[in-house]
Structure 1
């Protein structure tokens, strides 16, 4: 089975249903994983996506915030969802394809603005969330699995516009990078994007606050595609659709793609 997968923090699936439709029509991934859907599951416009050839959806939703969904051309069955850090948030859902590959769609907490778990409860929750991800992967080592989503951490120096500046900013602080690395190592996850594009600055998020995000180019690679070692060599053709950040009324994230021949 060969398929192309995309992951995208859409920042409201109902507000940006037209952009989702545009991506499905123009880029035609077989599977699209969305984060920050900001919608109850029954309010996600599945009929519109089904009309474009994506009749399958598994999702977890909430009114107004969080939320994850997997849209698929291919049959997919839900195999669970985790509530790490016991936040009661819709931040994870997993589905299994007919070939046995499990796809995990994650939306890791952003962590607020202050990188101090004692002064900032949201930052503490983020670290706890990542710790529990790590422990889960240790306890139940994944195989034939792909993990995607907005992990809200840019781990490498070339995943941010300025390593020196960003070390003090939530999403690239040393403690976050270390927590993410521990979760990644626990599942032996391979970073497919960087397997395909090993060198150079690479971003998937640009702030709404930038007057001209494209010219300033102060980006971060917050969105990721990982795979377990048993299928990592089947991953290829990774790319980030930067142009989507410039679409009308866009998300502040751009979709990240990878293909797999399994």
Structure 2
């Protein structure tokens, strides 16, 4: 995939993927790198405590800079980079749970440092009711904290990526009407995520390239016998950029074929190229 230079700066490729176990799917990272050639790869659901993270295998793919925040069995985030990164020490402990759902770094970029945030927002369980389902309440509280955090510090030279577990637009899901009461597309979740985006002055980088009236998915359930034929997807994975970086956006990719890989994740990698 050739690169396009813009504004006199070499473009930067940032990819995000809910890998659903980094040790199980480590071999698939080679295929991702071959297809997208990312400079930075943000992973969610690594499901791996820090001491067991497969640094050697990841380094062999060219990612000489790595920061991980993981735990045994679930959650976990990682940022793998070919460019220097520095951990942001003072970002919040969301909902006071210490459950490894966010990693923030300062990324060395051609135009100067970029604030990069990798998020894994709680899925929220199956019942869209705070009283009946504490997991849903946790999801809403997490998003509310993120909204307040962003509103207090509007983004500048910043990028936010990750599995946000909410498909906000009508064509981010296979059926808007049928999924209105399904967790990930309920009105209360959509309103909450939209408030986060608006409050932080974030720009939706994927919808920058794909108009809102076109279908766009990044996740297909394991429950479908033939996920490609059914094509009942949702856009749960996102890339947001601050307004001052919008002019540098050059291209995007949603690696749909990755859903058909052997031992695939139910999410597929997403990449944005930006002259930054």
Could you state the TM-score of these two structures normalised by the residue count of structure 2? 0.93
Q: 1:240 aligns with which of 254, 261, 265?
A: 254
The alpha-carbon deviation at position 35 of structure 1 amounts to 0.2
The alpha-carbon deviation at position 100 of structure 1 amounts to 1.1
**What is the number of residues matched between the two proteins?**
262
Q: 1:117 aligns with which of 130, 133, 142?
A: 130
Q: In structure 1, how many angstroms separate the alpha carbons of the residues matched to 2:171 and 2:139? A: 22
Q: In structure 2, how many angstroms separate the alpha carbons of the residues matched to 1:31 and 1:54? A: 8
The alpha-carbon deviation at position 43 of structure 1 amounts to 1.2
User: Partner of 1:11: helix, strand, or coil?
Assistant: coil
1:25 equivalent in structure 2: 34
The alpha-carbon deviation at position 140 of structure 1 amounts to 2.0
1:229 equivalent in structure 2: 243
1:136 equivalent in structure 2: 149
Q: In structure 2, how many angstroms separate the alpha carbons of the residues matched to 1:26 and 1:237? A: 14
Q: In structure 2, how many angstroms separate the alpha carbons of the residues matched to 1:205 and 1:11? A: 12
Q: In the alignment, does 2:161 pair up with 1:148?
A: yes
Q: In the alignment, does 2:110 pair up with 1:83?
A: no
Q: In structure 2, how many angstroms separate the alpha carbons of the residues matched to 1:27 and 1:181? A: 28
Q: In structure 2, how many angstroms separate the alpha carbons of the residues matched to 1:162 and 1:210? A: 15
Q: In structure 2, how many angstroms separate the alpha carbons of the residues matched to 1:138 and 1:201? A: 29
Deviations along 1:224-254, whole A, 9 cap, x unmatched?
0000101122123112100000000100000
Q: In structure 1, how many angstroms separate the alpha carbons of the residues matched to 2:219 and 2:208? A: 20
Q: In the alignment, does 2:260 pair up with 1:253?
A: no
- What's the Cα RMSD here? 1.0
Q: In structure 1, how many angstroms separate the alpha carbons of the residues matched to 2:64 and 2:227? A: 35
Q: 1:7 aligns with which of 16, 32, 52?
A: 16
Q: In structure 2, how many angstroms separate the alpha carbons of the residues matched to 1:11 and 1:188? A: 30
Q: In structure 1, how many angstroms separate the alpha carbons of the residues matched to 2:22 and 2:229? A: 27
- Does the CA contact (< 8 Å) of 1:25 and 1:52 recur in 2? no
Q: 1:189 aligns with which of 202, 215, 221?
A: 202
Moved more, 192-201 or 75-84: 75-84
In structure 1, stretches of 5+ residues that fail to align are none
The alpha-carbon deviation at position 20 of structure 1 amounts to 1.5
Q: In structure 1, how many angstroms separate the alpha carbons of the residues matched to 2:20 and 2:206? A: 22
In structure 2, stretches of 5+ residues that fail to align are 1-9
Q: In structure 2, how many angstroms separate the alpha carbons of the residues matched to 1:91 and 1:236? A: 29
Deviations along 1:94-138, whole A, 9 cap, x unmatched?
111222111100000000000001110000000000000011112
1:52 equivalent in structure 2: 61
- Does the CA contact (< 8 Å) of 2:36 and 2:271 recur in 1? no
Deviations along 1:159-196, whole A, 9 cap, x unmatched?
00000001010000000000001111111000000011
- Does the CA contact (< 8 Å) of 1:115 and 1:123 recur in 2? yes
Moved more, 95-104 or 157-166: 95-104
Q: In structure 2, how many angstroms separate the alpha carbons of the residues matched to 1:21 and 1:67? A: 20
* Structure 1 segments (4+ residues) deviating >3 Å: none
